[in-house]
Amino acid sequence: MNKDQVEGLVEEVKGKVKEAAGVILDDKGMEIEGNVQKNVGKVQSGFGDLKEDIKKDIDSI
């Protein structure tokens, strides 16, 4: 697991928590901010996955 995968997962979890808090507190701004943070984390984690796949492909050559 590389740095991007770990940081992406952390951001995704933080975003989910913030989004849930926004729903509970009826704070649309916090809910939207959490949703954005969650999706940014997913993208970063996906980028890390891509880097790992490329590294495996290079190592198999």
- In the predicted model, what is the mean pLDDT of the chain? 97
Structure tokens belonging to residue 10: 């952390």
What's the pLDDT band for 61 if we cut at 50, 70, 90?
A: confident
| Tens of pLDDT, residues 35-58 | 999 999 999 999 999 999 999 999
> Are the C-beta atoms of residues 4 and 51 closer than 8 Å to each other?
yes
What's the pLDDT band for 22 if we cut at 50, 70, 90?
A: very high
pLDDT of residue 10: 98
For 2-20, give one letter per residue: b (16+ CB within 10 A) or e. eebbeebbebbeebeebbe
What's the pLDDT band for 59 if we cut at 50, 70, 90?
A: very high
